[in-house]
Structure 1
Amino acid sequence: MVIISFLFGFSSSEGSCFGLRWFTPASEVPLCGHATLASAAVLFYKIKNVNSTLTFVTLSGELKARRAEDGIILDLPLYPTHPQDFHEVEDLIKTAIGDTLVQDVRYSPDTRKLLVRLSDTYRRSFLENLKVNTQNLLQVENTGKVKGLILTLKGEPGGQSQAFDFYSRYFAPWVGVAEDPVTGSAHAVLSSYWSQQLGKKDMRAFQCSCRGGQLEISVRPDGRVDIRGGTAFVLEGTLTA
């Protein structure tokens, strides 16, 4: 994921408002959570920005990132989902996951993401090991209605400290991303769905990509969601024209 940041009217060490755009290898996208998290981390920890909260002006409106003791909290939009007729997307789903049992199908018109909930009979290991065919999805769905496929699974019961409320994986070959490792924009959809399904506002989620990542979620009464995540710097360099 390539991030292009634009700063408006302030030095990066003292300013609190910045412009932010996101580009995949194929196109510009309206929201990218982990790229926003990375931008905030660079400003907070590398540029030594003095503010406790940063505002990013984006295609998805104003997004905020604030410091927390154990990471950074992103303030993102909360996107509702609507029931989707399975037969209208049956070819897409079967192309992606074959005969895997599906419990619910929802659609987010704001983000053009299709949410597919797998049967509660499956466990986390099944989702982690599931072979998803993304190569043929562009041929099956080329209307522009779907730009991302979310596979999700209810969390396993138990009181362990590492128990999660739900799991997910995310695929977006329509924008040049076969599988995304950890996806804030997908959780802006997942948070709305699972909050209603579980009757909870505070949840712990895990995205089951090969790299994997856990997210702390708080659904707010103002129609937005706080997502907490940690960061790690793995590469640093300088670009010269």
Structure 2
Amino acid sequence: MEIPVFTVDSFTNLAFKGNPAAVCPLLHELNDDLYQKIAAEMNLSETAFITRINSSDTFRTGSRFRLRWFTPATEVNLCGHATLASAAVLFRFQVNAMYSVYAYSENINPTLVFETRSGDLTVTQKSDGYVMDFPLNPPAHEDPNDFRDIIKVAVGDHPVQDVLLNSDTKKLMIRLPDSCDRAVLSKLKVDPYALLNSETSGRVKGLIITIKGSPDCQPGYDFYSRYFAPWAGIPEDPVTGSSHTVLGSYWSQKLGKKKMLAYQCSSRGGELELEVRDDGRINIAGEVTSVMQGVIRL
């Protein structure tokens, strides 16, 4: 068996920046064990598997596909950067029926729909990238004392302004005060093993640390963040679309803005354009760059 695979850096227009995802377009479903083994072999934060829903469709003519995401350790319910990468592969490349030829050939549809664990997700082309239609996941305020251990591991002795949790995504968010600048956030040394051991209740599966941005300074980021998910086998995720379904809701209320520009300041870094909509969803836009294509032989 030969399976095509692409590596795409999401939320960036520069190679080796943003968040890399592996994307495998498939003519038919594989078993879950094989999905997991491939994801472990790729060893990126996510590997995405795209399958056709209608057998009469091709990857060029189809507008609706099934999409699943796997970390090296487990399947996840929502992933932004691998969805962005999957759409880019379909919009930019075509795979023939024998999995042997790659050719530049745009999908003929302006919008693609992915059936996922989080419902239908659409991705639309725009001039300089793609726009994803994602669910919005508002967080609720929590008592910091309930998460004392994880906070200590995450931010040490830095003061904490807000602690919030979205129970659906199990993402805990820690906001540092405005006296902390981007350099403080970027320099945090978070031990993923200590983080994993500090929270074993099952309430938390991902940790967001965020600060208010500097919209008056170019390019005018409204907020910054970092994201850690050792519970899913990801020590630190470079740029995370799913965490911005939580961040976007929080910062939209705090800043009184619907449209925001965000930057995730991991060592790779990446930029996300956000628009919180009145229908309870969020548009997440970004650019991508393709860095590798090949074949997995089994």
The aligned counterpart of 1:30 is 77
Whole-angstrom CA distance in 2 between matches of 1:20 and 1:116: 30
Whole-angstrom CA distance in 2 between matches of 1:239 and 1:136: 35
1:72 alignment partner AA: Y
SS of the residue corresponding to residue 6 of structure 1 reads strand
The aligned counterpart of 2:27 is none
Deviates more, 1:65-74 or 1:125-134: 125-134
Contact 1:96 1:134 in 2 (8 A): no
1:47-66 correspondence runs (5 A): 47=94, 48-66=106-124
SS of the residue corresponding to residue 135 of structure 1 reads helix
Q: TM-score, normalised by structure 2?
A: 0.79
SS of the residue corresponding to residue 111 of structure 1 reads coil
SS of the residue corresponding to residue 184 of structure 1 reads coil
Runs (5+) with no aligned partner, structure 2? 1-45, 95-105
The aligned counterpart of 1:89 is 147
Q: Aligned pair 1:148/2:218, yes or no?
A: no
Q: TM-score, normalised by structure 1?
A: 0.97
1:67-78 correspondence runs (5 A): 67-78=125-136
Cα offset, 1:157, TM superposition: 4.8
1:1-241 correspondence runs (5 A): 1-9=46-54, 10-47=57-94, 48-158=106-216, 160-241=217-298
Please tell me whether Structure 1 or Structure 2 has the larger radius of gyration of its CA atoms: 2
Whole-angstrom CA distance in 2 between matches of 1:7 and 1:98: 47
- Identity among equivalent positions (%) equals 52
SS of the residue corresponding to residue 105 of structure 1 reads strand
Whole-angstrom CA distance in 2 between matches of 1:5 and 1:54: 12
Cα offset, 1:108, TM superposition: 0.3
1:75 alignment partner AA: D
2:214 alignment partner AA: E
Whole-angstrom CA distance in 2 between matches of 1:128 and 1:23: 27
Deviates more, 1:15-24 or 1:138-147: 138-147
Cα offset, 1:113, TM superposition: 0.2
Contact 1:97 1:133 in 2 (8 A): no
Deviates more, 1:5-14 or 1:200-209: 5-14
1:5 alignment partner AA: I
Give the alignment's Cα RMSD to 1 decimal: 0.9
Cα offset, 1:161, TM superposition: 3.6
Whole-angstrom CA distance in 1 between matches of 2:267 and 2:61: 37
SS of the residue corresponding to residue 161 of structure 2 reads strand
Cα offset, 1:5, TM superposition: 1.6
SS of the residue corresponding to residue 120 of structure 1 reads coil
SS of the residue corresponding to residue 102 of structure 1 reads coil
Closer, same or farther: CA 46–126 of 1 in aligned 2, 3 Å: same
Runs (5+) with no aligned partner, structure 1? none
Whole-angstrom CA distance in 1 between matches of 2:246 and 2:51: 27
